[in-house]
Amino acid sequence: MKNVLLVEDDSFLIDIYTTKLKEAGFSVEVAENGETALKKIKTNKPDLVILDLVLPKMDGWEILKEIKADPKSKEIPVVILSNLGQKGEVEKGLEMGAIKYLIKAHYTPSEIVEEIKKL
């Protein structure tokens, strides 16, 4: 079973994505802010991180930078899941090491899970 860390601060979305990912056979852990996300990445080393960019305490850009800068976590695949959909932001996310950039408004939760399964 693949272990997924969902980094998201919207409780409604956390419920939806957690339910859908678990139905698809993933084990899901949630972090609602950047500090918690980094702690969980260091202690539990997930198979995949699904990362929102707009977060309290530390934004997703900082988290992605930290993940990729640390030799212990830089190999963990990161999928950005955000409403920030400008071309420049998508390019920046991929350049910083994310393997995929999904814009929340363009996908249903089920479609997002399908994209995750492909990875």
Give pLDDT tens digits for 7-31: 999 999 999 999 999 999 999 999 9
Which pLDDT score, from 0 to 100, does residue 89 have?
96
- 51-85 exposure pattern, b = at least 16 Cβ within 10 A, e = fewer: bbbebeebbbbebbebbeeeeebeebbbbbbbebe
CATH code of the domain covering residue 28: 3.40.50.2300
- Other residues' Cβ atoms within 10 Å of the Cβ of residue 50: 24
pTM for the model: 0.95
CA torsion sign for 73, 56, 85, 7 is positive
Backbone angles phi, psi at 70, to 5 degrees: -90, 120
pLDDT digits (tens, 9 = 90+) for 78-89: 999 999 999 999
Confidence of residue 119 (pLDDT cuts 50, 70, 90): confident
pLDDT by residue (tens digit) across 48-80? 999 999 999 899 999 999 999 999 999 999 999
Which ranges of the chain would DSSP assign to H, the alpha helix?
11-23, 34-44, 60-69, 87-95, 109-118
The count of structural domains within the chain is 1
Domain region containing 32? 3-118
* pLDDT of res. 30: 98
Mean pLDDT across the chain: 96
pLDDT of residue 115: 93
